[in-house]
Amino acid sequence: MAETNGDNLLEVRDLVTAFDTDAGQVVAVDGVSFPVRRGRTLGIVGESGCGKSVTAMSIMRVLPQPMGKILAGEIAFDDKNLATLDAGEMRTIRGNRISMIFQEPMTALNPVHRIGKQISEVLLQHNDLSGVEAWEKSIEMLDKVGIPSPEIRVTEYPHQLSGGMRQRVVIAIALACGPELVIADEPTTALDVTIQAQILQLINDLQSELNMAMILITHDLGVIAETCDEVCVMYAGRIVERASAKEVFANPRHAYTQGLLNSIPRLDGIPKSELNIIEGMVPALSELKPGCRFAPRSGREHAPELLTERPPIKEISPGHWVEDCPVCTK
Amino acid sequence: MMNNGEPILATKDLRMYYPVKGGIFRRAVAACKAVDGVSLTIQPGETLGLVGESGCGKSTFGKTIARLYEPTGGSIKFEGNELAGLSRRQLKPFRREIQMIFQDPYESLNPRHTVGAIVEEPFVIHQMGTRAERRQWVAELLDKVGLHESAAQRFPFEFSGGQRQRIGIARALALKPRLLICDEPVSALDVSIQSQILNLLMELQRDLGLSYLFISHDLAVVKHISDRIAIMYLGKIVELGDSREIYKNPRHPYTKALLSAIPVPDPTHVPDRQILEGDVPSPIDPPPGCAFAPRCPVKASAECETRVPELVEVEPGYWLSNCDCCEIKNSP
């Protein structure tokens, strides 16, 4: 039965998402489970191609059609299973109760419509408002996301705004209907550090003000450390480790998490020293093995059965889950 | 690695303005001052990090000293030889000495050429060696950057981002340059691959005695690889000095804000953050006086909006914008 319990706003259970390609079906998300708690931030971290964005698109049900499909699993949201919800009902949730902030603010906005029209559109879709009321509310939202002189900006087009301003508009659209869950997919990756600091601060402030839950997808461990309560580390379509942010950084147990944390240059590191590396590269989706997928890069010998059997997910301490490959998990 | 001996590269008051065209005759109606009076030096075997937000002129500076652009004014001296104003033919011998590595390994390699042809091209242009010799050199170069020599027969699309960046590095190293301009070489790569490429660059520097101008917006990467760092804002250097010194004790308010904005990968770290308001102003119409004044959290005096501060050497080897907003350490 698709139902969330207690504190959990959303529960993803054994989600499998695949794409049909010319070379056959490839599984991009392979049995992923995690809860999202009300009002909290869950981070999903991993390198490109590990399935972070596909997980987000599955929850939002915006997979590229007709190639992308959810093959198995549940996405429980209240008493609904988003994985199988019909398109019409999904439309009443998307943009309203669950919304998304995208990476590239220029492509997320429509270049030929005024900012005000793009915010109003979401408001009119989900609320019983007049055009004038929606326009007024758009100005209010622009003000809320810290855009100076919102009554002028509301009439402008995206190209008239800077990158940071555009991302604020994207956030205004995402938050217009007061969603319970926001999925932010690399929201600051295209921005400079100074602008990133502004946007992260804004997201943090609005989140506590509006009491939203958030899924933050990023490859930047610094951003994760700063904003997330809980972290999922993804590798090759699977979650290899999930725990509170403090626990993941202080006590990483999977070899991939350890490798990631060790390979980033640190401000307090020794200059010009050799950096730790993870050998090799992320495997292509078409070449994934059923067993421990980090094995070829771990630099540790794996017995043959570990490469053919999927390692179980184990709770090794309260709230700390690891894909329990006996070689990669320490 | 301070200012001892002859620098490999020295720029003086280097300026690069792009014309902004307008009107029906597309005449230049304004100038975009991408690089506006930059003076700095790079010592042999040194890495100079160049840091700033997008649109501050970092890449233009790199391309100008590689003479991909004709500078508007000022001087570029490579081992004492003036490069500004030279013709294409006069530049050719210097092209071998200064090479570039680009950000996007997907766009900087010709997709229709084999990797062998890409890496061999510099030898062909400079008419060096016989075919057999060149093939031998290509194999050596590929080996040096950690690729198998069989890569020479394959095409760029067959390689991942990290491997393509290695191909770009092999091509840049072909003519045994003395100075490499690395323009965001790891920004497009995943973190696990990024560290592989940084290690390779550091190893090549040790083995070959290369000098690097390392351009990046990632301050942790720059700190790791650089001996000295220059902070650029709107076409000008505002602070320049020893890398450790700048990170430990930044003095310009822009450097402070930039450094404090870096997210630290440690959840127990409480950021003491200086959040800057607004964006970088347009270099076509920069603010009068100090370009940073509209965003400056200090703004010490009314003079900020009228006087253009200059970069001065406040201590041996440490250069700082001479405005009242900077903290000048009292001499002991």
Does B276 contact A276 at a Cβ distance shorter than 8 Å?
no
Q: Half-sphere exposure of residue A122, counting CA atoms within 13 Å on the CB side?
A: 27
Query: Does B178 reside within a domain?
Result: no
ipTM of the complex: 0.85
Q: What angle do CA A316, A318, A321 make, to 5 degrees?
A: 45
Q: Does A192 touch chain B (CB under 8 A)?
A: yes
Please give the average per-residue pLDDT across B40-60, as a whole number: 93
Q: Which residues contact A64 (CB under 8 A, 6 or more apart)?
A: A19, A57
What proportion of chain A, given as a percentage, has pLDDT over 90?
Answer: 75
Q: Where do we find the tokens 């207690």?
A: A6
Surface of B (263-322) touching A: CB under 8 A: 263-269, 271, 273, 275-277, 279-280
pLDDT tens per residue, range A193-229: 888 998 999 999 999 999 999 999 998 999 999 999 9
Q: What is the mean pLDDT of residues B264-283?
A: 85
Residue B328 counted as domain residue: no
CA distance B73 to chain A (A): 29
Band of residue B324 on the pLDDT scale cut at 50, 70, 90 = confident
Residue B257 lies in a domain: yes
Question: Could you give the CA distance from residue B192 to residue A262 in angstroms, rounded to a whole number?
Answer: 9
User: Which residues of chain B lie closer than 8 angstroms to A230, CB-CB?
Assistant: none
CATH code for the domain in which residue B22 is found = 3.40.50.300
Task: Give the whole-angstrom CA distance, residue B76 versus residue B91.
Answer: 12
| A-contacting residues in B 48-67 (Cβ below 8 Å) | 53-54
Separation between Cα atoms, residue B35 and residue B58, nearest integer Å:
8
Q: Would you state the pLDDT for residue B331?
A: 43
Stretch B147-175: mean pLDDT:
92
Segment A269-276 mean pLDDT: 89
What is the CB neighbour count within 10 angstroms for residue B173? 21
Query: How far apart, in whole angstroms, are the C-alpha atoms of residue A255 and residue A261?
Result: 10
The total number of structural domains that make up chain B: 1
Task: Flag whether B104 is in a domain.
Answer: no
Closest CA to B2 of B46, B39, B38, B40: B46
Domain with B38, as residue range(s), is 9-97+209-321
- Look at residue B329 in the predicted model and tell me its pLDDT: 57
CB of A297 closer than 8 Å to CB of A280: yes
- Out of B47, B192, B244, the one facing A278 most closely (by C-beta) is B192
Would you say residue B279 lies in a domain?
A: yes
Confidence of residue A270 (pLDDT cuts 50, 70, 90): confident
B123: its two tokens: 């030898």
pLDDT tens digits along A124-143: 999 999 999 999 999 999 99
Of B198, B247, B276, the CB nearest to A267: B247
Strand order from edge to edge, sheet including A68-77: A24-37, A8-21, A68-77, A80-81
Q: Is the pLDDT of residue B320 over 90?
A: yes
| Four-way CATH pick for A8-97+177-323: 3.30.450.40, 3.40.50.300, 3.40.605.10, 3.30.1360.120 | 3.40.50.300
**Residue linked to tokens 């045994």:** B176
Residue B2 domain-assigned? no
In chain A, domain spans: 8-97+177-323
Predicted TM-score (pTM) of this structure: 0.89
Assigned token pair, B257? 């804000």
- The average confidence (pLDDT) of chain A is 92
**Residue B25 in domain:** yes
What is the per-residue burial (b if ≥16 Cβ within 10 Å, else e) of B56-78?
Answer: bbbbbbbbbbbbebebbebebbb
d(CA B42, CA B7): 6
* pLDDT reported for residue B104: 80
pLDDT digits (tens, 9 = 90+) for A16-43: 999 998 888 999 999 999 999 999 999 9
Residue of chain A with shortest Cα separation from B46? A272
What is the enclosing helix (H) or strand (E) of B45? none
Domain presence at residue B46:
yes
